[in-house]
Amino acid sequence: MTRVAAFDCGTNSIRLLIADLDGQGGLRDVVRTLELVRLGEGVDRTGRFSEAALERTLAATQKFAELCREHDVERIRFVATSATRDAANREEFTDAVHTILGVPAEVIPGTEEAALSFRGALTALAEPAPEEPTPQHLVIDLGGGSTELVLGNSTPDSAYSMNVGCVRLAERNIHSDPPLETELADIRRDVTEVLDVATATVNLSLATEVIGVAGTVTTVTAHALGLNSYDPEVISGSRLPLADVLRSCDALSRMPRAERAALPYMHPGRVDVITAGAVIWSTILQRVADATAATGRPLKWVTTSEHDILDGVALSLAPDDFGAHTKLPSR
């Protein structure tokens, strides 16, 4: 066993997975946690991290570093995604992370983000029976600043990273409570425009299974399941009718803020962005449904995975994958 720590720093949250990695590519969770720090707050408008956002995110990084020390982590990888790709002052952030953790903060491109999400998401799926046809998984990672589409069987065949996410489009389009129909339409327009480009690379009609990951998707799933609290064990691997998921997206997108905040499974840091996230998710799912229906194999079910890029990053820390993933410096 090798004890590893994977950091995923996105637009809305920073997450940590400490896990034991065996020699056969299996992971056993030791710690899985997150803080919603909103690193990407205002980046879509200003192109820079704010000092407040940096302070929140670095404080969480320091806290997570202490957890790594407590659990005797041997190898660490820190990846940063959409907001850090977009921020002109990203080096201020990455240099500070390097100082805290002793390893480089990797600002990975959208294509690598997509591949890591795909690898992680598939760890939550059961092996298909030998007599079943080879599935084409479409993994959709709906983040705060970007959304990745990845199509393939055991490995990605095609991938595309779209610059639409729940934080980015909430800041850009939602200004009313409850949101106006014109604001929801503006989000659908933004998503449709990038999907028109993405589908030239990722053929949605080939998908036989859709797997959604990240906080928007899991929150929509909690709503569709009618949960009394956020329960990752119930959510992960759940397979719901497409119609149920679309109804939950519509309901969440139209709720007043106070009603969203009162939902028992809603994280406080997601209240202000779930509206945009739900519209993004429904727009993508409807596009996939239309594409697959045209082939005579309509999409009927949507699978949710709690396993995602974080698990993919942890799996990349196998001992034979040499790199700058060393132990934290001593205090």
Q: For the chain, give every residue range classified as CATH 3.30.420.40.
A: 2-111+311-315
Pick among 1.10.357.10, 3.30.450.40, 3.30.559.10, 3.30.420.40: CATH of 2-111+311-315: 3.30.420.40
| pLDDT computed for residue 322 by the predictor | 42
Buried b (16+ CB within 10 A) or exposed e, 103-129: bebbbbebebbbbbbbbbbbbbeeeee
Q: Which amino acid is at 148?
A: E
The C-alpha atoms of residue 213 and residue 164 are separated, in whole angstroms, by 15
Tally of CB atoms within 10 A around 313: 28
| pLDDT computed for residue 300 by the predictor | 95
Q: Is 7:77 a contact under the CB 8 Å cutoff? A: yes
The DSSP code sequence of 33-96 is EEEE--TTTTHHHHSS--HHHHHHHHHHHHHHHHHHHHTT--EEEEEE-HHHHH-TTHHHHHHH
How many Å separate Cα 134 from the centre of its chain?
25
In angstroms, the Cα distances linking 186 to 42, 172, 193, 266, 283 are 19, 9, 11, 24, 12
- Per the DSSP assignment, residues forming a β-bridge with 211 are 139, 303
- Per the DSSP assignment, residues forming a β-bridge with 79 are 8, 106
Instruction: Report which DSSP code applies to 287.
Output: H
How many Å separate Cα 158 from the centre of its chain?
18
| pLDDT computed for residue 62 by the predictor | 97
pTM: 0.89
| pLDDT computed for residue 131 by the predictor | 55
Q: Is 53:72 a contact under the CB 8 Å cutoff? A: no
Domain 122-308 = CATH 3.40.50.800: no
Q: For the chain, give every residue range classified as CATH 3.30.420.150.
A: 122-308
The DSSP code sequence of 152-184 is ESSSEEEEEEES--HHHHHHHH--SSSPPHHHH
State phi, psi for 166 to the nearest 5 degrees.
Answer: -65, -35
| pLDDT computed for residue 325 by the predictor | 55
Strand residue runs (E) in 12-87: 13-21, 27-36, 75-80
Cα 202–Cα 204–Cα 209 angle in degrees, nearest 5 = 115
Per-residue pLDDT of the chain (331 residues; tens, 9 = 90+): 899 999 999 888 999 999 998 877 688 999 999 999 999 899 989 999 999 999 999 999 999 999 999 999 999 999 999 889 989 999 999 999 999 999 999 999 988 998 999 999 888 776 655 555 678 999 999 999 999 999 998 889 999 999 999 999 999 999 999 999 999 999 999 999 999 999 999 999 999 999 999 999 999 999 999 999 999 999 999 999 999 999 999 999 999 999 999 999 999 989 999 999 999 999 999 999 999 999 999 999 999 999 989 999 999 998 765 444 555 555 4
| pLDDT computed for residue 328 by the predictor | 57
Tokens of 314: 């942890």
| pLDDT computed for residue 27 by the predictor | 86
